[in-house]
């Protein structure tokens, strides 16, 4: 019993050390993440376009086969046209100069506060 308790306590203490906070992403890493998100979104649009085209093709074939068999297919349902997303083009957002200025000024404020506490 005590052995199990000590083992579980050791595992919890180890988990606390492992769950340390990661450093903030650099601007370059954020830009790469934004580009990857844009590529993924474009890929999803391409997949939707391909799915739409394949649905149209299947419906067209169904109607042709039904007419060959002498059956009258139901009324055709109007659906929105398939929109081709085109090639992937990524334009990175313009860097914002105002947040960079406040980011450099922000660390100076805690240093001044700690100097005031010491004095």
88, 39 Cβ separation under 8 angstroms: yes
Position 16 pLDDT exceeds 80: no
**Domain assignment present for 9:** no
Residue 38 within a domain: yes
Mean pLDDT (the chain, rounded): 81
Structure tokens, 29: 């890493």
**Res. 35 pLDDT band, cuts 50 70 90:** very high
Q: How confident is the model at residue 113 (pLDDT cuts 50, 70, 90)?
A: very low
Residue 43 is assigned to a structural domain of this protein: yes
**Residue 19, in any domain of the structure:** no
Residue 53 lies in a domain: yes
If you average pLDDT over residues 16-43, what whole number do you get? 88
- Give the residue numbers spanning the domain of 63: 25-73
Q: Which long-range contacts (CB under 8 A, 24 or more apart) does 38-42 make?
A: 38/88, 38/90, 39/88, 39/90, 42/85, 42/88
- Overall number of domains in the chain: 1
Is residue 80 classed as helix, strand or coil in its secondary structure? Answer: coil
Cβ atoms of 90 and 35 closer than 8 Å: yes
Q: How confident is the model at residue 12 (pLDDT cuts 50, 70, 90)?
A: confident
Would you state the pLDDT for residue 41?
96
């Amino acid at each position: 019993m005590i052995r199990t308790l000590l083992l579980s306590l050791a595992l919890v203490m180890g988990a606390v050390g492992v769950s340390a906070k990661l450093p903030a992403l650099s601007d370059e890493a954020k830009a790469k993440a934004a580009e990857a998100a844009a590529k993924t979104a474009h890929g999803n649009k391409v997949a939707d376009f391909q799915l739409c085209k394949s649905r149209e093709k299947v419906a067209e074939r169904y109607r042709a086969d039904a007419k060959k068999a002498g059956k009258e297919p139901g009324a055709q349902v109007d659906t929105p046209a398939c929109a081709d997303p085109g090639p992937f083009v990524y334009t990175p957002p313009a860097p914002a100069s105002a947040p960079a200025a406040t980011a450099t000024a922000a660390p100076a404020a805690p240093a001044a506060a700690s100097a005031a506490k010491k004095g």
